[in-house]
A and B are shown apart, each in its own frame.
Chain A
Amino acid sequence: MLCQLKKPNDPRLLVGIETADDAGVYQINETTALIQTLDFFTPIVDNPYMFGQIAAANSLSDVYAMGGKPLTAMNIVAFPIGCLPAEVLGDILRGGQDKVIEAGAVIVGGHTIDDTEPKYGLSVTGSVHPDRIWKNIGAKPGDILILTKAIGTGVLATAARAEMFHEGNLASMRSMATLNRTAAEVATKYTIHACTDITGFGLLGHIYEMASGSSVDIEVHSAAIPLLTDAAEAAAMGLVPGGAYTNREHLTTVTMNPSVPVHIQDLCFDPQTSGGLLFSVPPNIAMALLEDLQSAGALQAGIIGKVTQEGRGEIYVY
């Protein structure tokens, strides 16, 4: 749909809508480019404060995925004024603000509209050095793929609606509310060929964006994918959100080895909220980066696959 819009013709637009990148990047001067991104969604957890935290972390993630630092943020709010108590909105905004402060950025304003369904998120402005932008294209054959957070938030959200797997739901909320800041700051010390964050298209959906954008094929080791607590059991029990099925239907370049259990396959397509960062890095620094990430607190970070050859985005999962 975006293809129908006229493509901007500005040399200072370093990253625009032509790649499936997470944000736009616009050069200001020799050493600074601005990153601009926004995201918002309907509540995915019952607790309004946590909803605010998760939505904010999710919006800020795109800046980290470009290798940048968030500077300012604005609230995007839709709320059924008069139908839900004002305290609920207060809690959401507090959650968001606390997360923005944690990211070292500042909320400068926002906009609220009346709506039957609450929605919240942020528009975020960040900065990055023009020569050190991480794009989601640039992965090279031989690269190692490192994922910084465990997956399974979609399945666990479905489980929460079924009032099952309480522990998994708590782990999922904590994970979603975790900023990708630490992971990004650790990774800036290393050579990163490509980076993306894992969100609504699921792990394989975002891996495909990286693979097709980089013109490579990728191999994923399913047993190495870090999973949130209870995610495997919940998926095996059919607590799989519709989005996982949609993602699988739309992704036609994936070959699944039959030995991959069905519930793991489902998790590979499970839409994530505020997921981790996926780095494609040269093999000689992969272990050092992984250890560094884990020491810094990304305990579930792991090597999940590699870039095998030049290609057109074929993904082989074994």
Chain B
Amino acid sequence: MFTNIDARGMACPGPVIATKKALEGIVSGIVTILVDNVIAKENVIKFATAHGCGVSITQQEGDFLLKITKGEAMDKQTVMDQPIAANNTVYIITQDTLGHGNRELGAVLMKGFIYTLLEVKPVPKALLFMNSGVLLTIEDSPVLPHLDKLVQDGVEILSCGTCLDYFEAKDKLAVGGVTNMYTIVETMSASAKVITL
């Protein structure tokens, strides 16, 4: 969720007040704020870090664009207190074939497996694709229709950005979103069951 603020021209402590209001309005997400002087930049950074948010700053034609990330950090206690949800299962798919020994067989098995995920309820919470597994989420993947259906059923499909980059397939992603190591680890930690293929 994005909130954008243009705080240029605001007298001190306007930018901090605007940041405060924006952060109070969200549970987690990103607030971006544009300021036109170093003092406002420093003060907004201080406010954000005092509230446990991360900040990235870029310069934009003499102004400063601050991106404040209010986290969805799950501490261990929250995870333990959560009742195990029926669909709180995550699959990590680490290659584009299933099993070892024969690639051709593996391709067939993987197609079958993804299809079966559709049939078995409840559907998993998420599928995380890594290493050559990302080849299953790009154009011309043999399992695209199955993955599209899983998305319609509420399954989160995420592909590791580094892996897509490595296979030079970033612009060929055909289903779901791109993720990073943080989200991958967090999703795993927050799940009742993690199954790695």
Contact = CB atoms under 8 A, between A and B. Distances in A.
A201 B38 CA distance: 20
Interface string B1-44: 00000000000110011001000000000000000001100111
Contacts, number: 44
Interface in A233-250: 235-242, 245
A294 to B, nearest CB: 32
B181 interface: no
A156 to B, nearest CB: 12
Interface stretch (B45-53, B98-106, B165-173): B45-53
Contacts of A240: 39, 42-43, 46
B42 A238 contact: yes
Chain A interface extent, by class: 10 to 19
A227 B33 CA distance: 31
Interface in B36-83: 38-39, 42-48, 50-51
A245 B46 CA distance: 13
A3 interface: no
A136 B20 CA distance: 42
A237 B12 CA distance: 13
A186 to B, nearest CB: 37
Nearest to B43: A238
A262 interface: yes
A263 interface: yes
Nearest to A235: B46
Contacts of A12: none
A237 B46 CA distance: 5
A263 B45 CA distance: 12
Contact of A237 (B38, B39, B42, B50): B50
A158 interface: yes
A238 B38 contact: no
Contacts of A235: 46
A235 B43 CA distance: 9
Nearest to A244: B39
A235 B51 CA distance: 13
Given A238-B43, A238-B44, A238-B45, A162 B50 contact: no
A262 B20 contact: no
Nearest to B16: A238
Interface SS of chain A: helix, strand, loop or mixed? helix
B12 A158 contact: yes
A239 B16 contact: yes
B32 to A, nearest CB: 17
Nearest to A159: B13
Contact of A158 (B13, B38, B48, B50): B13
B46 A162 contact: no
A239 B39 contact: no
A221 to B, nearest CB: 23
A263 B42 CA distance: 11
Contacts of A166: none
Contacts of A236: 46, 50
Nearest to A262: B46
Nearest to A242: B39
Contact of B16 (A162, A242, A245, A262): A162
Contact of B39 (A159, A162, A245, A263): A245
Which of B38, B43, B47 neighbours the largest number of chain A CB atoms within 10 Å of its CB? Answer: B43
A245 B45 CA distance: 14
Contact of B47 (A161, A237, A242): A237
Contacts of B13: 158-159, 161-162, 238-239
A235 B47 CA distance: 9
A159 B20 CA distance: 12
Contacts of A241: 12
B38 A245 contact: yes
Contacts of A242: 12, 39
Interface string A205-249: 000000000000000000000000000000111111110010000
Interface string B115-126: 000000000000
A158 B20 CA distance: 14
28 contacts: A158-B12, A158-B13, A159-B13, A161-B13, A162-B13, A162-B16, A162-B17, A162-B20, A163-B17, A236-B50, A237-B50, A237-B51, A238-B13, A238-B46, A238-B48, A238-B50, A239-B13, A239-B43, A239-B47, A240-B39, A240-B43, A240-B46, A241-B12, A242-B12, A245-B38, A245-B39, A245-B42, A262-B46
Given A237-B50, A238-B42, A240-B43, 16 more contacts: A161-B13, A162-B13, A163-B17, A235-B46, A236-B46, A236-B50, A237-B16, A237-B46, A238-B43, A238-B44, A238-B45, A238-B48, A240-B42, A245-B39, A262-B46, A263-B46
Interface of B: 12-13, 16-17, 20, 38-39, 42-48, 50-51
